[in-house]
Amino acid sequence: MRSSQAVSAILAPVFLATLVAGCGAAAAAGGGGGQQCGSGHRVEVVVELASKKVVDSCVAFTAAEIPAETAMKRSGIEFAIKHFSYGDAVCQIDREPAAYTNCFASGQPYWALFTWSGEGPWRVAQTGISDIHLRPGDALGWHFGTGSPAAPPKPPKG
């Protein structure tokens, strides 16, 4: 397993591409956040499916922070969870996989969860979705694949 510095060095170019592609139009207009998110109390949900199609949604909220599971529900992106002792895990997003019996079957693709706090690279989540809280400008990222850790989602296509 690579050190966190090595992983960060590998993922930094991907993050920069995400930042430029996802925020470029809003930044040019004087706003922050993703192209569709603008400013204010908003978080972005970015999902890269196995087909490499990217599903992107902006979620508005009024509190100081929003639970990640609530952000997923409000995003309008279909997802299914399974309860584990460490928290809830997402087993299906946008009906992918079509069916599942185990979220983390050995050698099989799974949904890797990432967070972004407005700066630096995407970070692999160390907990289940039920323990993550997002603040304005944060992003929640998903990638369906195998490996450890899976690559972060590609940037939204505007």
84-133 pLDDT, tens digit each: 887 889 999 999 998 888 888 888 889 999 999 877 788 889 888 999 99
Averaged pLDDT for residues 5-31: 32
Residue 84, in any domain of the structure: yes
Q: Helical H runs in the chain? A: 4-28, 68-75
Residue 125, in any domain of the structure: yes
State the Cα–Cα distance between residues 68 and 66, nearest whole angstrom.
Answer: 6
Q: State the total domains in the chain.
A: 1
pLDDT for position 148 = 73
Range of the domain at 76: 4-145
Q: What's the whole-model pTM score?
A: 0.72
- Residue 5's contacts (CB-CB under 8 Å, 6 or more residues apart) are none
Tell whether the model's pLDDT for residue 140 goes beyond 80: yes
Residue 86, in any domain of the structure: yes
Buried b (16+ CB within 10 A) or exposed e, 30-44: eeebbbebbeeebbb
What CATH code is carried by the domain that includes residue 23? 2.170.130.30
Residue 13, in any domain of the structure: yes
State the Cα–Cα distance between residues 124 and 21, nearest whole angstrom.
Answer: 21
Where residue 147 falls among pLDDT bands split at 50, 70, 90?
A: confident
Encode pLDDT of 42-58 as tens digits.
Answer: 999 999 898 888 899 99
- Give yes or no for a contact between 32 and 26, defined as CB atoms under 8 angstroms apart: yes
Residue 109, in any domain of the structure: yes
> CB atoms < 10 A from the CB of 55, how many?
18
State the Cα–Cα distance between residues 16 and 34, nearest whole angstrom.
Answer: 13
